[in-house]
Structure 1
Protein backbone atom coordinates (compact mmCIF):
# COMPACT_ATOMS: atom_id res chain seq x y z
CA UNK A 1 0.00 0.00 0.00
CA UNK A 2 1.39 3.45 -0.88
CA UNK A 3 2.40 5.59 2.07
CA UNK A 4 0.34 8.61 2.86
CA UNK A 5 2.02 11.98 2.84
CA UNK A 6 2.11 12.11 6.63
CA UNK A 7 3.69 8.69 7.28
CA UNK A 8 7.30 9.78 6.68
CA UNK A 9 8.40 12.93 8.43
CA UNK A 10 11.84 14.41 8.74
CA UNK A 11 12.79 14.53 12.37
CA UNK A 12 13.96 17.64 14.11
CA UNK A 13 17.59 17.40 15.14
CA UNK A 14 16.67 18.74 18.55
CA UNK A 15 14.21 15.86 19.02
CA UNK A 16 16.73 13.15 18.17
CA UNK A 17 20.25 14.38 18.87
CA UNK A 18 21.94 16.09 21.76
CA UNK A 19 24.19 19.03 21.00
CA UNK A 20 27.19 17.84 19.00
CA UNK A 21 25.75 14.40 18.30
CA UNK A 22 24.21 15.38 14.97
CA UNK A 23 27.52 16.55 13.54
CA UNK A 24 29.05 13.20 14.40
CA UNK A 25 26.03 11.31 13.06
CA UNK A 26 26.23 13.17 9.76
CA UNK A 27 29.92 12.33 9.48
CA UNK A 28 29.24 8.67 10.31
CA UNK A 29 26.65 8.44 7.54
CA UNK A 30 28.95 10.22 5.10
CA UNK A 31 31.77 7.81 5.95
CA UNK A 32 29.53 4.84 5.23
CA UNK A 33 28.58 6.32 1.87
CA UNK A 34 32.25 6.88 1.04
CA UNK A 35 33.12 3.39 2.20
CA UNK A 36 30.56 1.93 -0.19
CA UNK A 37 30.97 4.24 -3.17
CA UNK A 38 34.01 6.49 -2.84
CA UNK A 39 34.01 10.30 -2.83
CA UNK A 40 31.25 10.73 -5.41
CA UNK A 41 28.83 8.90 -3.11
CA UNK A 42 29.13 11.59 -0.43
CA UNK A 43 26.04 13.68 -1.19
CA UNK A 44 24.54 16.03 1.39
CA UNK A 45 20.96 15.09 0.55
CA UNK A 46 21.65 11.39 1.06
CA UNK A 47 23.48 12.05 4.31
CA UNK A 48 20.69 14.14 5.81
CA UNK A 49 18.12 11.61 4.66
CA UNK A 50 19.99 8.82 6.41
CA UNK A 51 20.24 10.92 9.55
CA UNK A 52 16.53 11.70 9.35
CA UNK A 53 16.96 15.45 9.70
CA UNK A 54 16.10 18.48 7.62
CA UNK A 55 18.43 20.15 5.15
CA UNK A 56 18.60 23.17 7.43
CA UNK A 57 19.70 21.03 10.38
CA UNK A 58 22.42 19.35 8.34
CA UNK A 59 23.73 22.61 6.89
CA UNK A 60 24.10 24.09 10.36
CA UNK A 61 26.90 21.59 10.93
CA UNK A 62 28.39 21.36 7.43
CA UNK A 63 27.96 24.46 5.31
CA UNK A 64 28.28 22.55 2.03
CA UNK A 65 29.31 19.25 0.50
CA UNK A 66 32.97 20.24 0.30
CA UNK A 67 33.08 20.83 4.04
CA UNK A 68 31.50 17.44 4.71
CA UNK A 69 33.79 15.71 2.23
CA UNK A 70 36.80 17.32 3.86
CA UNK A 71 35.71 15.80 7.18
CA UNK A 72 35.34 12.37 5.57
CA UNK A 73 38.80 12.68 4.00
CA UNK A 74 40.24 13.60 7.38
CA UNK A 75 38.61 10.53 8.89
CA UNK A 76 39.96 8.28 6.12
CA UNK A 77 43.49 9.61 6.60
CA UNK A 78 43.23 8.99 10.34
CA UNK A 79 42.13 5.40 9.73
CA UNK A 80 45.03 4.85 7.35
CA UNK A 81 47.45 6.23 9.94
CA UNK A 82 45.88 3.97 12.58
CA UNK A 83 46.48 0.90 10.40
CA UNK A 84 50.08 1.98 9.93
CA UNK A 85 50.46 2.27 13.71
CA UNK A 86 49.03 -1.22 14.14
CA UNK A 87 51.61 -2.58 11.72
CA UNK A 88 54.39 -0.70 13.50
CA UNK A 89 53.35 -2.26 16.79
CA UNK A 90 54.26 -5.68 15.39
CA UNK A 91 57.92 -4.69 15.02
CA UNK A 92 59.95 -6.02 17.99
CA UNK A 93 61.02 -3.17 20.29
CA UNK A 94 64.48 -4.65 20.80
CA UNK A 95 67.24 -5.90 18.57
CA UNK A 96 69.57 -4.51 15.95
CA UNK A 97 68.75 -0.82 15.38
CA UNK A 98 69.23 -0.93 11.63
CA UNK A 99 67.12 -4.05 11.25
CA UNK A 100 64.32 -2.52 13.32
CA UNK A 101 64.47 0.71 11.31
CA UNK A 102 64.11 -1.27 8.09
CA UNK A 103 61.24 -3.28 9.57
CA UNK A 104 59.39 -0.13 10.64
CA UNK A 105 59.81 1.46 7.23
CA UNK A 106 58.59 -1.72 5.56
CA UNK A 107 55.62 -1.98 7.93
CA UNK A 108 54.38 1.49 6.98
CA UNK A 109 54.49 0.64 3.27
CA UNK A 110 52.75 -2.70 3.71
CA UNK A 111 50.03 -1.14 5.86
CA UNK A 112 49.44 1.57 3.26
CA UNK A 113 48.68 -1.01 0.58
CA UNK A 114 46.71 -3.19 3.02
CA UNK A 115 44.44 -0.26 3.86
CA UNK A 116 43.75 0.41 0.19
CA UNK A 117 42.70 -3.21 -0.31
CA UNK A 118 40.65 -3.40 2.90
CA UNK A 119 38.94 0.00 2.52
CA UNK A 120 38.94 0.88 -1.20
CA UNK A 121 36.13 3.41 -0.87
CA UNK A 122 37.81 5.30 1.95
CA UNK A 123 41.20 5.08 0.24
CA UNK A 124 39.80 6.57 -2.97
CA UNK A 125 38.10 9.27 -0.91
CA UNK A 126 41.25 10.11 1.04
CA UNK A 127 43.14 10.89 -2.14
CA UNK A 128 40.34 12.13 -4.37
CA UNK A 129 41.26 14.74 -6.97
CA UNK A 130 39.09 17.35 -5.32
CA UNK A 131 39.80 20.71 -3.62
CA UNK A 132 38.45 19.28 -0.37
CA UNK A 133 41.12 16.57 -0.50
CA UNK A 134 43.97 19.09 -0.63
CA UNK A 135 42.39 21.09 2.20
CA UNK A 136 42.00 17.97 4.34
CA UNK A 137 45.58 16.85 3.70
CA UNK A 138 46.93 20.30 4.57
CA UNK A 139 44.81 20.36 7.74
CA UNK A 140 46.02 16.90 8.73
CA UNK A 141 49.65 17.89 8.16
CA UNK A 142 49.18 20.70 10.67
CA UNK A 143 48.40 18.07 13.30
CA UNK A 144 51.07 15.91 14.89
CA UNK A 145 52.87 13.78 12.32
CA UNK A 146 51.63 10.66 14.06
CA UNK A 147 48.17 11.36 12.64
CA UNK A 148 49.00 11.76 8.95
CA UNK A 149 50.18 8.85 6.79
CA UNK A 150 52.77 10.83 4.85
CA UNK A 151 54.22 12.41 7.99
CA UNK A 152 54.34 8.97 9.57
CA UNK A 153 56.21 7.58 6.57
CA UNK A 154 58.56 10.57 6.68
CA UNK A 155 59.34 9.88 10.32
CA UNK A 156 60.52 6.36 9.54
CA UNK A 157 62.58 7.53 6.59
CA UNK A 158 64.27 9.89 9.06
CA UNK A 159 64.75 6.86 11.30
CA UNK A 160 66.63 5.11 8.49
CA UNK A 161 69.00 8.06 8.34
CA UNK A 162 69.38 8.27 12.12
CA UNK A 163 70.32 4.59 12.40
CA UNK A 164 72.83 4.77 9.56
CA UNK A 165 70.88 2.70 7.04
CA UNK A 166 70.78 5.66 4.65
CA UNK A 167 73.50 8.20 4.01
CA UNK A 168 72.07 11.65 4.84
CA UNK A 169 73.13 12.79 1.37
CA UNK A 170 70.58 10.35 -0.11
CA UNK A 171 67.74 11.58 2.08
CA UNK A 172 66.20 14.23 -0.19
CA UNK A 173 63.05 13.08 -1.96
CA UNK A 174 63.09 9.57 -0.50
CA UNK A 175 59.83 9.88 1.41
CA UNK A 176 58.01 11.17 -1.68
CA UNK A 177 59.49 8.33 -3.74
CA UNK A 178 58.37 5.75 -1.19
CA UNK A 179 54.88 7.25 -1.04
CA UNK A 180 54.64 7.27 -4.84
CA UNK A 181 55.69 3.62 -4.99
CA UNK A 182 53.13 2.23 -2.54
CA UNK A 183 50.38 4.60 -3.68
CA UNK A 184 50.91 3.74 -7.32
CA UNK A 185 50.80 0.03 -6.54
CA UNK A 186 47.61 0.47 -4.52
CA UNK A 187 45.94 2.28 -7.43
CA UNK A 188 46.99 -0.50 -9.82
CA UNK A 189 45.36 -3.00 -7.48
CA UNK A 190 42.14 -1.02 -7.14
CA UNK A 191 41.59 0.54 -10.55
CA UNK A 192 44.36 -0.55 -12.86
CA UNK A 193 45.84 -3.50 -14.70
CA UNK A 194 46.45 -5.50 -11.50
CA UNK A 195 42.89 -5.28 -10.21
CA UNK A 196 42.05 -8.81 -11.34
CA UNK A 197 44.78 -10.48 -9.30
CA UNK A 198 43.97 -12.54 -6.24
CA UNK A 199 45.08 -11.70 -2.72
CA UNK A 200 48.11 -14.06 -2.73
CA UNK A 201 49.44 -12.50 -5.94
CA UNK A 202 48.92 -8.99 -4.63
CA UNK A 203 50.72 -9.80 -1.40
CA UNK A 204 53.62 -11.31 -3.33
CA UNK A 205 53.94 -8.28 -5.61
CA UNK A 206 53.75 -5.90 -2.65
CA UNK A 207 56.55 -7.85 -1.01
CA UNK A 208 58.64 -7.64 -4.17
CA UNK A 209 58.12 -3.88 -4.34
CA UNK A 210 59.17 -3.43 -0.73
CA UNK A 211 62.16 -5.75 -1.24
CA UNK A 212 63.29 -3.71 -4.25
CA UNK A 213 62.89 -0.41 -2.45
CA UNK A 214 64.68 -1.75 0.62
CA UNK A 215 67.64 -2.94 -1.44
CA UNK A 216 67.78 0.42 -3.14
CA UNK A 217 68.16 2.37 0.08
CA UNK A 218 71.28 0.50 1.10
Structure 2
Protein backbone atom coordinates (compact mmCIF):
# COMPACT_ATOMS: atom_id res chain seq x y z
CA UNK A 1 0.00 0.00 0.00
CA UNK A 2 1.56 3.36 -1.01
CA UNK A 3 2.58 5.73 1.77
CA UNK A 4 1.11 9.24 1.88
CA UNK A 5 3.37 12.08 0.84
CA UNK A 6 4.88 14.29 3.57
CA UNK A 7 2.74 17.21 2.38
CA UNK A 8 -0.51 15.21 2.64
CA UNK A 9 0.50 13.85 6.08
CA UNK A 10 1.18 17.41 7.25
CA UNK A 11 -2.13 18.52 5.80
CA UNK A 12 -4.02 15.91 7.80
CA UNK A 13 -2.44 17.36 10.93
CA UNK A 14 -3.90 20.75 10.09
CA UNK A 15 -0.80 22.41 8.63
CA UNK A 16 -1.80 22.78 5.01
CA UNK A 17 -0.53 26.35 4.83
CA UNK A 18 2.98 25.28 5.84
CA UNK A 19 2.83 22.30 3.49
CA UNK A 20 1.89 24.54 0.56
CA UNK A 21 4.78 26.89 1.29
CA UNK A 22 7.18 23.94 1.50
CA UNK A 23 6.03 22.65 -1.88
CA UNK A 24 6.32 26.12 -3.36
CA UNK A 25 9.86 26.38 -2.02
CA UNK A 26 10.76 23.16 -3.81
CA UNK A 27 9.25 24.38 -7.07
CA UNK A 28 10.89 27.79 -7.01
CA UNK A 29 14.32 26.64 -5.88
CA UNK A 30 15.28 25.73 -9.43
CA UNK A 31 12.58 27.46 -11.44
CA UNK A 32 12.30 30.84 -9.75
CA UNK A 33 9.07 32.79 -9.45
CA UNK A 34 7.76 31.64 -12.84
CA UNK A 35 7.71 28.02 -11.59
CA UNK A 36 5.07 28.82 -8.99
CA UNK A 37 1.72 27.62 -10.38
CA UNK A 38 -1.08 27.08 -7.86
CA UNK A 39 -2.40 23.97 -9.60
CA UNK A 40 1.06 22.37 -9.48
CA UNK A 41 1.48 23.28 -5.82
CA UNK A 42 -1.89 21.73 -4.95
CA UNK A 43 -1.14 18.56 -6.90
CA UNK A 44 2.22 18.08 -5.19
CA UNK A 45 0.66 18.74 -1.79
CA UNK A 46 -1.99 16.11 -2.52
CA UNK A 47 -4.98 18.44 -2.26
CA UNK A 48 -7.48 19.97 -4.65
CA UNK A 49 -6.68 23.38 -6.17
CA UNK A 50 -9.62 24.88 -4.29
CA UNK A 51 -8.05 23.84 -0.98
CA UNK A 52 -5.18 26.28 -1.52
CA UNK A 53 -7.59 29.20 -1.39
CA UNK A 54 -8.40 28.48 2.25
CA UNK A 55 -4.94 29.82 3.09
CA UNK A 56 -3.88 31.94 0.11
CA UNK A 57 -6.21 34.24 -1.78
CA UNK A 58 -4.19 33.94 -4.97
CA UNK A 59 -0.79 33.09 -6.42
CA UNK A 60 0.64 36.44 -5.34
CA UNK A 61 -0.17 35.86 -1.68
CA UNK A 62 1.51 32.44 -1.76
CA UNK A 63 4.48 33.94 -3.57
CA UNK A 64 4.75 36.60 -0.85
CA UNK A 65 4.77 33.93 1.87
CA UNK A 66 7.47 31.99 0.03
CA UNK A 67 9.52 35.16 -0.47
CA UNK A 68 9.37 35.89 3.25
CA UNK A 69 10.57 32.37 4.09
CA UNK A 70 13.45 32.70 1.60
CA UNK A 71 14.42 36.11 2.94
CA UNK A 72 14.59 34.62 6.43
CA UNK A 73 16.87 31.81 5.23
CA UNK A 74 19.03 34.32 3.42
CA UNK A 75 19.37 36.49 6.53
CA UNK A 76 20.24 33.45 8.62
CA UNK A 77 23.16 32.73 6.30
CA UNK A 78 24.23 36.38 6.35
CA UNK A 79 24.16 36.44 10.17
CA UNK A 80 25.96 33.11 10.39
CA UNK A 81 28.76 34.36 8.15
CA UNK A 82 29.01 37.59 10.12
CA UNK A 83 29.28 36.39 13.71
CA UNK A 84 30.99 37.53 15.85
CA UNK A 85 33.57 40.08 14.57
CA UNK A 86 34.27 43.78 14.47
CA UNK A 87 31.48 45.89 13.01
CA UNK A 88 33.40 46.44 9.78
CA UNK A 89 34.05 42.71 9.40
CA UNK A 90 30.39 41.97 10.10
CA UNK A 91 29.27 44.44 7.44
CA UNK A 92 31.67 42.84 4.96
CA UNK A 93 30.44 39.36 5.80
CA UNK A 94 26.80 40.46 5.49
CA UNK A 95 27.46 41.89 2.03
CA UNK A 96 29.36 38.85 0.83
CA UNK A 97 26.74 36.57 2.40
CA UNK A 98 24.05 38.32 0.38
CA UNK A 99 25.94 37.77 -2.87
CA UNK A 100 26.86 34.23 -1.88
CA UNK A 101 23.24 33.28 -1.28
CA UNK A 102 22.25 34.70 -4.66
CA UNK A 103 24.92 32.64 -6.41
CA UNK A 104 24.04 29.46 -4.51
CA UNK A 105 20.26 29.81 -4.80
CA UNK A 106 19.43 31.81 -7.96
CA UNK A 107 15.84 30.54 -8.11
CA UNK A 108 15.12 31.55 -4.54
CA UNK A 109 16.92 34.86 -5.00
CA UNK A 110 14.58 35.59 -7.90
CA UNK A 111 11.56 34.93 -5.69
CA UNK A 112 12.89 36.79 -2.64
CA UNK A 113 12.96 40.12 -4.42
CA UNK A 114 10.41 39.69 -7.19
CA UNK A 115 7.92 42.06 -5.55
CA UNK A 116 9.49 43.95 -2.69
CA UNK A 117 7.87 47.09 -1.32
CA UNK A 118 8.68 47.22 2.42
CA UNK A 119 11.28 49.83 3.41
CA UNK A 120 13.00 50.91 6.64
CA UNK A 121 10.78 52.89 8.95
CA UNK A 122 7.58 51.06 8.02
CA UNK A 123 7.85 48.53 10.85
CA UNK A 124 8.32 45.62 8.46
CA UNK A 125 11.44 45.22 6.37
CA UNK A 126 12.89 42.17 4.59
CA UNK A 127 15.14 40.08 6.80
CA UNK A 128 18.26 40.57 4.61
CA UNK A 129 17.81 44.33 4.77
CA UNK A 130 17.36 44.11 8.54
CA UNK A 131 20.70 42.27 8.73
CA UNK A 132 22.35 45.07 6.75
CA UNK A 133 20.75 47.74 8.93
CA UNK A 134 22.01 45.98 12.07
CA UNK A 135 25.54 45.79 10.66
CA UNK A 136 25.52 49.49 9.78
CA UNK A 137 24.20 50.41 13.21
CA UNK A 138 27.05 48.37 14.64
CA UNK A 139 29.54 50.67 12.91
CA UNK A 140 27.93 53.64 14.62
CA UNK A 141 27.98 51.87 17.98
CA UNK A 142 31.72 51.18 17.59
CA UNK A 143 32.41 54.77 16.58
CA UNK A 144 33.59 53.83 13.08
CA UNK A 145 30.72 55.65 11.37
CA UNK A 146 29.10 58.95 12.33
CA UNK A 147 25.35 59.14 12.76
CA UNK A 148 25.21 61.69 9.94
CA UNK A 149 27.00 59.36 7.54
CA UNK A 150 24.85 56.45 8.70
CA UNK A 151 21.59 58.05 7.58
CA UNK A 152 20.39 56.23 4.46
CA UNK A 153 23.60 54.23 4.09
CA UNK A 154 21.66 50.99 3.58
CA UNK A 155 20.66 52.12 0.09
CA UNK A 156 24.11 52.40 -1.56
CA UNK A 157 25.24 49.29 0.32
CA UNK A 158 22.20 47.25 -0.72
CA UNK A 159 22.35 48.58 -4.27
CA UNK A 160 25.98 47.49 -4.59
CA UNK A 161 25.47 43.89 -3.51
CA UNK A 162 22.10 43.45 -5.22
CA UNK A 163 23.39 44.93 -8.46
CA UNK A 164 26.47 42.73 -8.32
CA UNK A 165 24.33 39.66 -7.75
CA UNK A 166 22.22 40.48 -10.82
CA UNK A 167 25.33 40.98 -12.94
CA UNK A 168 26.64 37.61 -11.76
CA UNK A 169 23.35 35.79 -12.36
CA UNK A 170 22.03 37.45 -15.52
CA UNK A 171 24.69 39.83 -16.80
CA UNK A 172 28.22 39.63 -18.18
CA UNK A 173 29.65 38.09 -15.00
CA UNK A 174 27.59 34.91 -15.51
CA UNK A 175 30.24 33.57 -17.90
CA UNK A 176 33.18 34.46 -15.64
CA UNK A 177 34.88 31.70 -13.57
CA UNK A 178 33.55 31.50 -10.01
CA UNK A 179 36.91 32.36 -8.43
CA UNK A 180 37.02 35.58 -10.44
CA UNK A 181 33.42 36.40 -9.54
CA UNK A 182 34.22 35.85 -5.86
CA UNK A 183 37.24 38.13 -6.07
CA UNK A 184 35.19 40.80 -7.82
CA UNK A 185 32.48 40.49 -5.15
CA UNK A 186 35.04 41.04 -2.41
CA UNK A 187 36.43 44.06 -4.25
CA UNK A 188 32.94 45.52 -4.66
CA UNK A 189 32.02 45.08 -1.00
CA UNK A 190 35.37 46.42 0.21
CA UNK A 191 35.03 49.46 -2.08
CA UNK A 192 31.55 50.35 -0.85
CA UNK A 193 32.60 49.98 2.79
CA UNK A 194 35.73 52.10 2.24
CA UNK A 195 33.66 54.79 0.56
CA UNK A 196 31.10 54.73 3.34
CA UNK A 197 33.69 55.04 6.09
CA UNK A 198 35.47 57.83 4.21
CA UNK A 199 32.36 59.97 4.59
CA UNK A 200 32.93 59.91 8.36
CA UNK A 201 36.47 61.22 8.06
TM-score range normalised by the length of the shorter chain: 0.7 to 0.9
Equivalent position SS for 1:61 = coil
Q: Shift of residue 23 of structure 1? A: 1.6
Q: Tell me the residue number matched to 1:103.
A: 89
Q: Are 1:120 and 2:120 an aligned pair?
A: no
Task: List runs of 5+ in structure 2 lacking aligned partners.
Answer: none
What is the number of equivalent residue pairs in this alignment? 190
Q: Tell me the residue number matched to 2:147.
A: 168
Q: Tell me the residue number matched to 1:206.
A: 185
Whole-angstrom distance in 2 between the partners of 1:180 and 1:211: 14
Q: Are 1:184 and 2:163 an aligned pair?
A: yes
For residues 138-160 of structure 1, the C-alpha deviation after alignment (integer angstroms, 9 at most, x for no partner) is 6xx746x7x71112101111111
| 1:1-218 aligned within 5 A | 17-89=11-83, 91-92=84-85, 100-128=86-114, 130=115, 133-134=116-117, 137=118, 142=123, 148-216=127-195, 217-218=197-198
Structure 1 residue runs of 4+, over 6 Å off? 13-16
Q: Shift of residue 14 of structure 1? A: 8.3
Distance 1:70 1:88, change over 3 A: same
| CA RMSD between the two structures | 2.2
Equivalent position SS for 1:60 = coil
User: Contact between 2:38 and 2:59, CA under 8 Å: does it hold in 1?
Assistant: yes
- State the TM-score, normalizing by the size of structure 1: 0.80
Task: List runs of 5+ in structure 1 lacking aligned partners.
Answer: 1-10, 93-99
For residues 4-40 of structure 1, the C-alpha deviation after alignment (integer angstroms, 9 at most, x for no partner) is xxxxxxx9x9887324322211111111111111111
Equivalent position SS for 1:17 = helix
